[in-house]
Amino acid sequence: MEVFEFSKKLNIPKNSALCLGNFDGVHLGHRRLFHVAKGHKSWGALVFDGNFKGDKLITTLSEKLELIKNQGADFVICAKPDEGFLGLSGEQFYNILRDAGVGKLIAGYDFRFGKGAYHTCDDLVNWCKRDSIMVHIEGEYSFLGEAVKSSRIRGLIEKGEIPIANELLGYSYFLLGRVEKGLENGRKMGFPTANISYGDAKLLPPDGVYKGRIEIGENSYKAVINIGKNPTFDAKNRTVEVHIPNFDGDVYGESVRVEFAEKIRGEIKFGSVEELIAQIKRDVASALK
């Protein structure tokens, strides 16, 4: 899959289908657009490198690219949500895509574009018809009586409602990170953990303990994931730490994928290390079920 930076002169495959949107989360609703695009010889998606609304990201750019690649896209155009892009009028934006030789534009029913998000899908349809470019506007996709949107999924993750969020995503919510040196409190208690780095823009579930998995290379393991500040040890920084039951390998420096399945409990400050150890044993047993 080729990755292009958005510019006023795009050199993308001619007559390709292009899906338009932010695509944060690459959820089931987004994939309905991709399904339409797959009927074309070549197709891709235009995505944001960041989030112009200032929200935490369900998927960072690297995570988003991985998911879109797995959907079979031939290329992706990355646009930075800066003044150079957000300052374009709707027609300027459209003209750049037209001049790049797109054969079909695909967007969701609520897609808005141009400076101040002034233009709607009606404008896109009218301009495409004028220039004999195929266009498809996908309608609302609902699950449990509500539209499947990134904002809805973001709210579920923020509340720790991971199983429902995973259903709307179509995969287990995850983060990509690298294993770094931590305080090693878990190792001292007999439960070594991998301290996972993550970017400030990444959305994390609420502090607490989660059941999930960790992928290291080609191997996948059941895992207990702790998010928080380790209040029993009065730690200062919020961390993501992963304990892999019955695993004794050295994973420092490894790039990993951490998947969240469900919340086991909230963060607790225990009165003693012994109480914490007893609870960790219960957490591990829950994660292994």
Q: For residue 249, which amino acid is it?
A: G
CA distance 3 to 203: 24
Cβ distance 29 to 111 under 8 Å? no
| Contact of 6 with 77, CB cutoff 8 Å | yes
Q: Give the C-alpha distances (Å, rounded to integers) separating 92 from 21, 118, 153.
A: 17, 13, 32
d(CA 27, CA 146): 14
How far is the C-alpha of 113 from the C-alpha of 211, rounded, in Å? Answer: 39
- Which residues, in sequence order, are CB contacts of 203 under 8 Å at separation 6+? 55, 56, 57, 58, 154, 157, 158
Our answer to whether residue 274 is catalytic in this structure is no
Cα separation, 141 vs 109, in Å, equals 10
SS3 90: helix
Q: How far apart (Å, rounded) are the C-alpha atoms in residues 37 and 24?
A: 18
CB neighbours (10 Å) of residue 43?
A: 24
Tell the burial category of 23 from Cβ atoms under 10 Å away from its Cβ (0-12, 13-18, 19+). Answer: buried
Q: Which position among 161, 215, 218, 241 bears the catalytic label?
A: 241
* Total number of residues shown for the chain: 289
- Where in the sequence numbering do the catalytic residues fall? 241
